[in-house]
Amino acid sequence: MRKPDFDPFRILFQRTSTAALASLIILAAGRASSQPAPTLRQAAETHNLLIGAATASAYLSEADYATILGSEFSLLQAENEMKFGAIHPRPDTDPRPYDFRGGDALVEFARRHDMKVRGHTLIWHRHLPKWVTEGRFAPPQLEKILHDHITNVVSHYASKVYAWDVVNEAFNTDGTMRHTIWYDQPGIGAGWDTRYIEQALRWAHQADPEAKLFCNDFGAEGINQKSDAIYAMAKDFRKRGVPLDGIGFQVHATLWFDSQAQLASFVTNLDRFAKLGLELHITELDIRLDGDSAASLDAQAKLYGEITALCLQQPACRLIQTWGFTDKHSWIPGTFKGQGWALPWDAEYRKKPAYDAMLNALQQPRTSPHPF
Ligand code: XIL
């Protein structure tokens, strides 16, 4: 007869008294808990996944802010300081058209903490300076302004910024192109669907051939008219060798997003973009609440964990970035009246259940099947 398998637990039970066993368990538990828990960054690194946060240089002088950012995250992005209005506040005729101070401070922080940097964003319909919106420029002039802006900003950060959101929010919900100054007016194929995006990607690629170039949008997480339009563009660009490396999914969510149907649709959508050979980033994750009851925070944690797991099970998903990391500095209360509590740290820099849920999801194997 085959000898029973070696079972240390059974042997332990047979050979030790209950009291001795109890003390052994307590000792083992003590050992386990004396091991420091990994940070999000450490847990994510085991999966070759980046963990990012949107940041502002003004907050780096807050000790808690800097400590958490520098230890928990492997990537940072400027929440506002690389947007057109902030980085290029004066016309090119001015002796100092650019202001790189905020962006440079963030890049320097990232360098000191061995973090990557995402650039956000070269083309957007918001955050434009008056000299652009009220300049009454003719299309060829706007083309030059855009070309010079992309070339100068991307060159300034060449080899420092790992990926750029070249175009942000270019599509309407119904999949048509959003009317913006950049779509409507520059002389680079205005009104020709995605032609201006193609041109912008080519300019950015010329300025830094190493940078990964992204299109970023909101409300395109699941399969819908907007994500269909982005998919059609991406497929066309990949076929024709236009330098598009990835797609950013913002994921500014509410608890409403926590449904089997929506999460499954997100999974299917990521999968079709992955099949085009694109890198996928979750770029602006936050989950806003109407209050901070324990039940709301737990529901929020569940969804943070699910989104983290969903990215982990998709090999092309290489970044999970939250839009800020502390409720103290979140954009939500200022934008969505009565809402807030959207991030994994509270306003006193205490970890919330959302943090534990993310960490827990990151400690699962990358290949485990998603539950949706
Ligand atoms: C937001 C910032 O968080 C705010 O501080 C700012 O006032 C407006 O912009 N989608 C984006 C981000 O791509 O750039 C936006 O950031 C949030 C929505």
Q: Which of 323, 326, 329, 339 to mutate to test the pocket of ligand 1 (most atoms within 8 A of CB)?
A: 323
DSSP state at residue 192: S
Q: What is the pLDDT of residue 356?
A: 98
CB atoms within 10 A of CB 274: 16
Q: Is 165 in the pocket of ligand 1 (CB under 6 A)?
A: no
Shortest-distance atom of ligand 1 to CA 324: 3
pLDDT beneath 70: ranges in the chain: 1-34, 190-191, 367-372
pTM: 0.90
Tell whether the torsion through CA atoms of 369, 47, 38 and 66 is positive or negative: negative
pLDDT at residue 370 in the model: 56
User: What is the structure's pLDDT at 323?
Assistant: 99
Sign of CA dihedral 102, 108, 112, 116: positive
Q: Are 245 and 278 a contacting pair, CB within 8 Å?
A: yes
pLDDT for 17: 40
223: left (phi over 0), alpha (psi -120 to 50) or beta: beta
Point out the catalytic residue in the list 72, 143, 198, 284.
284
Taking only the tens place, the pLDDT of each residue in 189-216 is 766 899 999 999 999 999 999 999 999 9
In a mutational test of the pocket of ligand 1, which residue from 57, 79, 330 has the highest number of ligand atoms less than 8 Å from its CB? 79
Residue nearest to atom 13 of ligand 1 (CA): 168
Tally the C-alpha atoms within 13 A of residue 166's C-alpha that lie toward its C-beta.
Answer: 30
* pLDDT, position 103: 98
Give the pLDDT score at 157: 98
On whether the CB atoms of residues 324 and 330 are closer than 8 A, the answer is: yes
What pLDDT, on the 0 to 100 scale, is given for residue 19? 40
